[in-house]
């Protein structure tokens, strides 16, 4: 099926890549978005996008072609990635998004989904990344509707959301066939091949990240501060001289912390795990190893 071109996808912001050769990648806020060193263990761009789609980050839909159906900007109640790479979204049945998808002709209703990832811990410059997925929106009907709901239920507790007192369900699934993807996050910026989205897996720690980071910040702030001893005495990393050290991001490869100096300047540090973790048990051991190294 032929598709229209020229979907209004925002360009990914690109900033300089400042790398260093040690086990920890870091940069300050005056030099632009901190980026990891070349060769660092990291998730692929497709994995990062899929993690953003599946978990925590906020979603904003824009329908450039739905001028007769209202603004078309709504927060879905749930979303996931189907085996074919489509993004499945659960939206209010009376929203402009649902109405526009229901009346779309020839599957040519363009849609841009903007995802914003915000740190669950209160820090300056709290936005950790953004992704834009542009494509074509259609309503899921019949067996496909049931299939989409099953896919959503695998990731989200959608049962209560789908309950309705009347004949019309309060929420309905729609599909976004993705044509273009752009990404700008703590790892870097660029475009992602949509065909790689289906085969990518979300980070196994992502579903727990918010709770874990908030717990580290509220219950283990002193221990998090000691991690600065692993930074090799670089300028601006002395724990005694820092105003704050906050856990910023956590994934299977390591922990990222944000340091606030006495003068208010920001410095990010990336602390790599000895090896990638696959579950909470592995994460617990990896964090124990980091803290033991900091104290030893």
Per-residue pLDDT of the chain (296 residues; tens, 9 = 90+): 334 344 445 443 333 232 332 344 444 444 433 444 555 688 999 999 999 999 988 999 988 755 544 444 567 889 999 999 999 999 988 888 888 888 876 667 899 999 999 999 999 999 999 999 999 999 999 999 999 999 999 888 776 566 655 566 688 899 999 999 999 999 989 999 999 999 999 999 999 999 999 999 999 999 999 999 998 887 788 888 999 999 999 999 999 999 999 999 888 888 999 899 999 999 999 999 999 999 87
User: Residue 271 in 3-state DSSP?
Assistant: strand
pLDDT for 59 equals: 92
| pLDDT for the residue numbered 215 | 97
Task: Please give the pLDDT value at position 28.
Answer: 46
At which residue do the structure tokens 């918010």 appear?
210
Q: Give the whole-angstrom CA distance, residue 111 versus residue 120.
A: 28
Query: What does the alpha-carbon distance between residue 15 and residue 12 come to, in Å, rounded to a whole number?
Result: 10
Tokens of 266: 């920001």
Query: Which long-range CB contacts under 8 A does 94-98 form with residues at least 24 apart?
Result: 96/63, 96/66, 96/69, 96/70, 96/71, 96/72, 97/61, 97/63, 97/66, 97/72, 97/137, 97/174, 98/139, 98/172, 98/174
Q: Where in the chain is the domain with CATH 3.20.180.10?
A: 206-295
Tokens of 175: 């599909």
pLDDT attached to residue 22: 33
Non-local CB neighbours of 49 within 8 Å, separated by 6+ positions: 131, 133, 181, 183, 192, 197, 200
What stretch(es) of the chain map to CATH 2.30.110.10? Answer: 44-196
- 79: nearest Cα among 71, 68, 65, 90: 90
pLDDT, position 10:
44
- The CA-to-CA distance between both ends of the chain, in Å, stands at 61
Give the Cα separation of 138 and 266 in Å (integer).
Answer: 44
- Per-residue pLDDT, 57: 85
Task: Considering the domain delimited by 206-295, tell me its CATH architecture.
Answer: Alpha-Beta Barrel (3.20)
Closest C-alpha to 21, from 289, 190, 188, 232: 232
CATH superfamily, region 44-196 = Electron Transport, Fmn-binding Protein; Chain A (2.30.110.10)
pLDDT at residue number 106: 63
């Amino acid at each position: 099926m032929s598709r229209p071109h020229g979907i209004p996808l925002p360009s990914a912001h690109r900033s300089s890549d400042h790398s260093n050769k040690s086990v920890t990648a870091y940069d300050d806020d005056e030099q632009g978005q901190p980026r990891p060193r070349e060769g660092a263990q990291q998730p692929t761009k497709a994995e990062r996008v899929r993690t953003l789609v599946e978990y925590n980050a906020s979603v904003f839909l824009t329908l450039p072609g739905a001028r007769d159906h209202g603004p078309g900007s709504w927060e879905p109640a749930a979303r996931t990635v189907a085996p074919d790479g489509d993004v499945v979204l659960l939206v209010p049945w009376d929203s402009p998004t649902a109405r526009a998808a229901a009346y779309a002709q020839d599957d040519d209703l363009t849609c841009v989904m903007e995802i914003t990832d915000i740190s669950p811990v209160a820090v300056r410059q709290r936005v950790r990344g953004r992704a834009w997925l542009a494509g074509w929106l259609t309503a899921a009907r019949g067996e496909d509707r049931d299939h989409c709901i099953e896919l959503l239920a695998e990731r989200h507790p959608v049962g209560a959301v789908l309950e309705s007192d009347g004949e019309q369900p309060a929420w309905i699934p729609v599909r976004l066939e993705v044509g273009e993807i752009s990404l700008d996050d703590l790892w870097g910026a660029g475009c992602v091949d949509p065909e790689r989205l289906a085969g990518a897996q979300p980070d196994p720690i992502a579903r727990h990240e918010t709770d874990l980071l908030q717990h580290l910040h509220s219950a283990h702030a002193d221990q998090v501060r000691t991690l600065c001893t692993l930074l090799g005495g670089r300028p601006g990393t002395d724990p005694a001289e820092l105003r704050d050290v906050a856990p910023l991001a956590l994934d299977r490869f390591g922990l990222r912390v944000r340091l606030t100096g006495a003068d208010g300047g920001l410095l990010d540090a990336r602390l790599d795990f000895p090896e990638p973790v696959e579950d909470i048990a592995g994460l617990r051991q990896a964090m124990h190893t980091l803290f033991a190294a900091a104290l030893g």
